[in-house]
Amino acid sequence: MGKGVKFTLAVTVSVALLLTTAYISLTNGAFDMALRDVVKTLLRMNPQHDYDLVILEFRLPRIVIALLVGAGLGMAGTVVQSLTRNPLADPGILGINAGAGVAMVIFLFFFQGKMKGTSLAAILAGPAVGLVGGLGAALLIYFFSRVNGRLEAQRLLLTGIAMASGLSAVSVFLTLKMNAKDFETVAVWVSGSIYNANWTYIVAMLPWLLLLTPVLFLRTRMLDVFQLSESSVRGLGAEVDRERALLLLSAIGIVSACVSVSGGIGFIGLMAPHMARRLVGHGHRQLLPMSGLIGALLVMMSDFIAKTVFAPMEMPVGVVIAIIGVPYFVLLLYRNKQRQV
């Protein structure tokens, strides 16, 4: 089977699974409904308040957020693994999740009581703070990872791990001093959850994805080049440091936007690229979009599991993904060990 046919088949199956998952998520839950009711509501044919509330205010924003967050994390994970040449790398190790988490904890600790209501500022306060924290932590890590004006991939990983550990310690210290309600909010947010998704969150994160995703797609050939050794890349005449910085900062911006509305969802950036490579190979022209599709599918399916399997209790989607991701990570470690032997 040719690469083009293989890629087309993989994309077709993934899109079909996404549409199927979206349909199941829209029609099933505490309030079940038929497909015709969903279609009538979306097309505004004899609209009813109950269906409008369930579909347009609760379920559809949640599906869209899951799609955007999963796609963003999947693509960013591909970029991070390619730039670091580490198949076990994940955007979370860059300290973005930890930076967003500590910013959210500080916000809740000092200001949450003063931001009440349904105003735009109150709705966007949490995501905005998470975005600033994620970007701030990532930029600090980027700064400390440069040696003699050059960004070193291995130093980036080590600095990210150290920064994430330090920021997580700060978060734990502050949460111990919180009241029970704010502590619960932080615990759910850090675990990764999209249960409070709304259209305002979507509008807030969408510009980042629309602006930065094309940057990644326009540089898929450079991502292929970065799979060569450092000396080979420089020998080809590529502006290594500038291209690596641009790709890394674009991935950081995408992950920060995703984390700001969903909390610390992990493992998507690790699993999606590996699954995509098994389906379409290592060429980034096919790998990047395939990783986005698989990431979106993983988050959508996990979110449906989180809100239905454990009903009436709802589990954070990040916990469901971790249940899947940890065994997958162990399997990858085992396979890498076998290859080295």
CA distances from 125 to 76, 82, 196, 203, 286 (A): 24, 34, 13, 14, 37
Expressed in angstroms, the distance from the first to the final Cα of the chain is: 31
Q: What is the pLDDT of residues 222-275, one digit of tens each?
A: 898 888 776 676 666 667 778 888 898 888 889 888 888 888 888 899 899 999
Q: What is the pLDDT of residues 49-83, one digit of tens each?
A: 888 888 888 889 999 999 999 999 999 999 989 98
Burial class (CB in 10 A: 0-12, 13-18, 19+), 315: buried
The whole-number average pLDDT for the span 272-289 is 92
- Count the domains in the chain: 1
- Using the predicted structure, report yes or no on whether residue 148 has a pLDDT greater than 60: yes
- Using the predicted structure, report yes or no on whether residue 4 has a pLDDT greater than 70: yes
> In angstroms, rounded to a whole number, what is the distance separating the alpha carbons of residues 323 and 98?
20
- Using the predicted structure, report yes or no on whether residue 47 has a pLDDT greater than 80: no
> Vertex 40, ends 38 and 41: CA angle to 5°?
65
Q: Are 227 and 85 in contact (CB under 8 A)?
A: yes
Element (H, E) at 29: none
Q: What is the pLDDT at residue 28?
A: 84
Q: What is the pLDDT at residue 260?
A: 82
Domain interval for residue 71: 3-340
Q: Which residue has the higher pLDDT, 233 or 103?
A: 103
When pLDDT is cut at 50, 70 and 90, the band that residue 200 belongs to is confident
- Using the predicted structure, report yes or no on whether residue 8 has a pLDDT greater than 80: yes
Q: Are 60 and 26 in contact (CB under 8 A)?
A: yes
Kindly state the tokens that stand for 168.
Answer: 């997580």
Q: What is the pLDDT at residue 302?
A: 92
Residue 151 bridge partners (DSSP):
146
Q: What is the pLDDT at residue 89?
A: 80
CATH number at 114 reads 1.10.3470.10
Question: What number of CA atoms fall less than 13 Å from residue 257's CA on the CB side?
Answer: 28
The whole-number average pLDDT for the span 298-324 is 87
DSSP codes of every residue in 143-192:
HHTEETTEE-HHHHHHHHHHHHHHHHHHHHHHHTTS-HHHHHHHHHHHH-
Q: What is the pLDDT at residue 277?
A: 92
- Using the predicted structure, report yes or no on whether residue 110 has a pLDDT greater than 70: yes
